[in-house]
Chain A
Amino acid sequence: MARVVIMGGGVSGHTAATFSKKWLGDEHEVVVVTPNSQWNWIPSNIWVGVGQMQKKDVVFPLAPVYEKAGIVYKQALAKAIHPNGKESSDKPFIVIESTKKDSLGQTEELEYDYLINATGPKLNFDATPGLGNGKGQMGTNTVSVCTAEHAIHANLELKQVFEKAKKAKENGTGEKQKILVGTGHGMCTCQGAAFEYIFNIEHEAKKAGVRDMLDIKWISNEAFLGDFGMGGLHMKVGGYAVSSKLFAESLYAERNVEWIIGAHTSKVEDGKIEYELLDGTKHEETFDFAMLIPPFSGVGFKAYDKDGSDITDVLFAPNGFMKVDAKYDAGAYENWKASDWPSTYQNPSFSNIFACGIAFAPPHLISKPMTSPNGTAINPTPPRTGMPAGIIGKAVAHSVCDMIKKGKDAHLHEASMAEMGAACVASAGKGILDGSAAAMTVYPVVPDFEKYPGTGRDTDYTFGEIGLAGHWIKHILHHMFIWKAKLKPGWTFIPE
Chain B
Amino acid sequence: MKKKEEENFALNEQFNLTMIPGSFARKMRTCKIWQFFRFIVINIKMLIVVSKSH
Q: Interface on A for B, CB 8 Å cutoff?
A: 246, 249-250, 252-254, 256, 258-259, 387, 391, 420-423, 433-434, 436, 439, 441-443, 461, 463, 465-470, 472-473, 495-496
Bound together, the chains give a CA A441 to CA B9 distance in angstroms of: 29
The distance from the CB of A120 to the nearest CB of chain B, in whole angstroms, is 21
> In the docked arrangement, what's the CA distance between A480 and B53, Å?
19
A250 B19 Cβ-Cβ under 8 A:
yes
Given the complex, which residues of A lie within 8 Å of B38, measured CB to CB?
A: 465, 467, 469
Instruction: Tell me if B8 and A461 are in contact (CB < 8 A).
Output: no
Instruction: Offer 15 A-B interface pairs, CB within 8 angstroms, sorted by A.
Output: A258-B14, A387-B50, A420-B52, A422-B53, A439-B42, A441-B45, A441-B49, A461-B49, A466-B29, A467-B29, A467-B30, A468-B30, A472-B35, A473-B39, A473-B43
**Beyond the given A468-B30, A473-B39, could you list 10 further A-B residue pairs with CB under 8 A, ordered by the A residue number?**
A249-B18, A253-B11, A256-B12, A391-B54, A421-B52, A441-B46, A468-B32, A469-B36, A469-B38, A469-B42
Chain B contacts with A in 6-41, Cβ cutoff 8 A: 8-9, 11-12, 14-15, 17-21, 26, 28-32, 35-36, 38-39
Residue from A249, A463, A469 within 8 A of B35 (CB atoms): A469
Cβ-defined contact, A467 with B35, below 8 A: yes
Q: Which residues of B contact A387 (CB under 8 A)?
A: 50, 53
Q: By the criterion CB–CB under 8 Å, are B14 and A253 in contact?
A: yes
Report the tally of A-B residue pairs with Cβ distances under 8 A: 95
Q: Is the CB of B1 closer than 8 A to any CB of chain A?
A: no
Q: Once bound together, how far apart are the Cα atoms of A6 and B52, in whole Å?
A: 27
Q: Which 10 pairs between the two chains have the least Cβ-Cβ distance?
A: A253-B15, A249-B18, A469-B39, A420-B53, A421-B49, A469-B38, A467-B29, A468-B35, A423-B46, A441-B49
Contact A421 B39 (CB under 8 A): no
Q: Measured between alpha carbons, how far is A258 from B11 in the docked complex, in Å? A: 10
Q: Give CA–CA (A259, B35) in the complex, Å.
A: 29
Complex contact A495–B52 (CB within 8 A) = no
Query: Measured between alpha carbons, how far is A421 from B31 in the docked complex, in Å?
Result: 29
A254-B35 in contact given A421-B52, A461-B52 (Cβ < 8 Å): no
Q: Roughly how many angstroms separate A256 CA and B15 CA in the complex, as a whole number? A: 8
Which B residues lie within 8 Å of A472 (CB)? 35, 39
Nearest neighbor of B11 in chain A, beta-carbon distance:
A256
Residues of B within 8 A of A246 (CB): 18-19
Residues of A within 8 A of B15 (CB): 249, 252-253, 256
A258 to B18, CA, bound (A): 13
Indicate which residue in A254, A420, A436 contacts B20 across the interface (CB closer than 8 Å). Answer: A254
Smallest CB separation, A320 vs chain B (Å): 28
> Does A423 lie within 8 Å of B21, measured CB to CB?
no
A142 CB to closest chain B CB, in angstroms? 24
* Shortest Cβ distance from B18 into A: residue: A249
Which residue in chain B gives the minimum CB-CB distance to A472?
B39
Nearest-neighbour CB distance to chain A for B17, whole angstroms, equals 8
Residues of A within 8 A of B8 (CB): 253-254, 256
User: How far is A253 from B20 in the complex, measured between Cα atoms in Å?
Assistant: 7
Contact of A250 among B21, B29, B31 (CB under 8 A): B21
Contact assessment for A470 and B32 in the assembled complex, using a CB-CB cutoff below 8 Å: no
Q: Which residues of B contact A465 (CB under 8 A)?
A: 38, 42
Neighbour of B42 across the interface among A250, A436, A470, CB < 8 A: A470
Q: Which residues of A contact B52 (CB under 8 A)?
A: 420-421, 443, 461
Residue of A nearest to B4 (CB): A254
Q: How far is the CB of B24 from chain A (nearest CB, A)?
A: 13
- How close is B25's CB to chain A, nearest CB, in angstroms? 10
Chain A proximity of B45: nearest CB distance (Å):
6
CB distance from B1 to the nearest CB of A (A): 18
Known: A461-B52, A468-B30. A250 touches B45 (CB 8 A): no
Q: How far is the CB of B53 from chain A (nearest CB, A)?
A: 4
Closest to A460 in B: B48
B28 neighbours in A (Cβ, 8 Å) = 467
Among A433, A442, A463, A468, the most chain B Cβ lie within 10 Å of the Cβ of A468
Residues of B with C-beta under 8 A to A420: 52-53
B48 to chain A, nearest CB (A): 7
Given that A256-B11, A436-B30, A439-B42 are known contacts, is A421 also in contact with B36, CB under 8 Å in the complex? no
Inter-subunit contact B18/A253 (CB<8 Å): yes
